[in-house]
Amino acid sequence: MAVQGGRPNNRQVVPYLMVSDGRAALDFYEKAFGAKILYEAPMPGMPGIFAQFTIGESYLQLTDLPGREPRGPRSPEALGGTSIVLEMYVDDVDKSFAHAVQLGGTPLLPPTDMFFGDRYCWVGDPWGHVWAMATVKETLNQGEVQRRAEEFMAAMSRNK
């Protein structure tokens, strides 16, 4: 496969995941989320890989060399957490959640019917990235979502 620049020229923001074991991460993403590897190569002169892959219609990149530069990006493992959630829609959120957990993902939020009309969950991958998966259950207008959000937040406040 020819690689044009670093990734396809699609004008999208492309997440670049930092992990401690790139090959194992790609294997997990293939099995858990149906990732398709577009390009994978060893890093010249050092251990580690660089890869480009898709999940659904989204492009992602990955390396297992995070943290080598003093001010460079760090993996969630190195940071002790992450500041982003990678969200995707799936056909059956319950089945997808169970499958990802069976493969080694950490259940963070089990599949739940949410006020915004989706059945929604969070799974942590073995490298500390958080993946949200959702399945649309209802199509709601903005007013209904707002009303439900207010009810949800009020109920959460009462339960504290």
pLDDT in tens, 46-63: 778 999 999 998 999 999
What are the residue ranges spanned by the domains of the chain?
Answer: 1-80, 82-160
The least confident of 9-23, 58-72, 103-117 is: 58-72
pLDDT at 156: 86
Residue 91's CB is within 10 A of a number of other CB atoms, namely: 7
Task: Select from 2.60.120.380, 3.30.720.120, 3.40.1190.20, 3.30.420.10 the CATH code of 1-80.
Answer: 3.30.720.120
How is domain 82-160 classified at the architecture level of CATH? Roll (3.10)
Task: Give the tens place of pLDDT for each residue, 111-150.
Answer: 999 999 999 999 999 999 999 999 999 999 999 999 999 9
| Res 159: pLDDT | 82
> What predicted TM-score, i.e. pTM, was given to this entire model?
0.86
Helix (H) or strand (E) segment spanning residue 31 = helix 22-33
In angstroms, rounded to a whole number, what is the distance separating the alpha carbons of residues 12 and 131?
Answer: 19
Count of beta carbons in the 10 Å neighbourhood of residue 117: 16
Per-residue model confidence (pLDDT) at position 13 = 81
Partnered with residue 39 across adjacent β-strands are 52
